[in-house]
């Protein structure tokens, strides 16, 4: 516990001494220190901080500032979004599989018209012999 308290105090002292303006930021460390020191005053992500890590940080900060009711609404909207994405992904996967199966059936029909061996058609299309015989 003492070590983490000392670490936090050291960071706070370092931030107090950090006086660069946004125009003076050169390194990622400068940007991190600037954000940590000025987060409460930044309304939206400045262009020079448009990196995924800073966008994630701002997203977390925005979420943290929501009321309990707003967080509940936000969480529900995310769940709804994820559920819809999963439904669409599943439907897409099923549609692709069905399309591939239909294509295999069409190929099998054509090969069957040419009187090729059922075993060859099954091997080529990955359909069962029963499926091919029922065409």
Q: In the chain, what are the domain boundaries?
A: 1-65, 67-135
How many angstroms separate the CA atoms of 48 and 128, rounded? 59
The predicted structure's pLDDT at residue 39: 83
**pLDDT band at residue 81 using 50, 70 and 90 as cut-offs:** very high
Residue 68: burial class (beta carbons within 10 Å; 0-12, 13-18, 19+): exposed
**pLDDT band at residue 48 using 50, 70 and 90 as cut-offs:** confident
The predicted structure's pLDDT at residue 97: 95
Average pLDDT over residues 121-131: 91
**pLDDT band at residue 98 using 50, 70 and 90 as cut-offs:** very high
Helices (H), the chain: 2-17, 28-38, 52-64, 68-113, 118-125, 129-133
Mean of the per-residue pLDDT values of the chain: 88
Angle at 115 between CA 110 and CA 116, to 5 degrees: 85
Measuring CA to CA, how many Å separate 45 from each of 37, 53, 55?
14, 12, 7
Average pLDDT over residues 60-64: 86
């Amino acid at each position: 516990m003492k070590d983490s308290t000392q670490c936090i105090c050291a960071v706070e002292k370092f931030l107090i001494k950090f006086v660069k303006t946004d125009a003076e930021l050169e390194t990622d460390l400068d940007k991190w220190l600037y954000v940590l020191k000025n987060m409460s005053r930044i309304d939206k992500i400045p262009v020079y901080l448009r990196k995924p890590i800073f966008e994630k940080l701002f997203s977390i900060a925005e979420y943290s500032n929501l009321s309990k009711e707003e967080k509940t609404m936000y969480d529900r909207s995310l769940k709804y979004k994820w559920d819809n994405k999963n439904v669409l992904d599943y439907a897409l996967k099923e549609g692709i599989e069905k399309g591939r199966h239909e294509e295999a059936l069409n190929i099998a029909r054509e090969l069957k018209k040419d009187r090729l061996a059922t075993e060859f058609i099954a091997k080529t299309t990955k359909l069962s012999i029963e499926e091919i015989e029922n065409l």
